Amino acid sequence: MADLMIGELARQVGVAPSALRYYEKAGLLPPPPRASKRRQYNPNVLGRIRIILLARDAGFSVRETRMFLNGFPASTMPALRWREMAKPKIAELDELMARVGQMKLILNASFRCECRELEDCERLVAAKYSCRSGSSQTKVAASKGPPQRVRAKR
C-alpha cells in the first residue's frame, strides 16, 4: 500500500489533519518522512492512531497516552501497560462517579424548594448548612429529604 497524505489518513481515521499534526508535535506519532514538504505517512501508522483514539476515548490525557506509548520498556506487553495505566484511571472515574452522585442529590433536593424569594432560600441554606472552613472535605449523604452534610471519610 502506498504512503498516505495527511488528508487521506485523517479521513480514514476520522480526525482532522490538525489532530495528526498535534499528535506528532505531542510525541504520540513519530514525525513522518516528507516529500515536497508534505507529510507522507506509512499505512502502518493507522494502528498507532487507533490506539491513540482508544486511549482518548478511555479518558486518558495526552500525557498519559504518551506514557503508555513511550514510557515503558519496549519489551513490556501492551496488556500490562493497559493494566498499569488503567488502575489510577479507574480510581479517578470512581471518584468522579461519586461526585456526580452527590451533584444529583443536590439538584434533586434543590428542585423541591418552596421558597417564594431568593432571600428565603439564602436564609434556609445558611441555617441548614453551617458554613465551616474546609467544606471541601464534606459530602452529601443520601437521604429522602434534602441532602445533609457529613464529614468525608479519609
Report the pLDDT value the prediction gives residue 61, as an integer from 0 to 100: 96
What residues does each domain of the chain span?
A: 4-71, 100-151
Which contiguous run of DSSP H or E holds residue 34? strand 34-35
pLDDT confidence of residue 154: 42
Q: Quote the pLDDT of residue 24.
A: 95
pLDDT of residue 138: 44
User: Under a CB-based contact definition with an 8 Å cutoff, are residues 115 and 121 in contact?
Assistant: yes
Residue-wise pLDDT tens digits, 38-83? 999 999 999 999 999 999 999 999 999 999 999 999 999 999 999 9
pLDDT at 115: 85
Q: Which three cell numbers stand for residue 117?
A: 424569594
Backbone φ, ψ for residue 87 (5° rounding)? -55, -55
pLDDT at 5: 95
Looking at residue 62, its pLDDT comes to 96
Question: 4-71: which CATH architecture?
Answer: Orthogonal Bundle (1.10)
Cα 14 to chain centroid, rounded: 20
The pLDDT value given to residue 147: 45
In this prediction, residue 130 carries a pLDDT of 62
Whole-number Å distance between alpha carbons of 120 and 128: 12
Strand pairing of 138-141 and 38-41? unpaired
Residue segments in the chain with a per-residue pLDDT below the cut of 70: 130-154
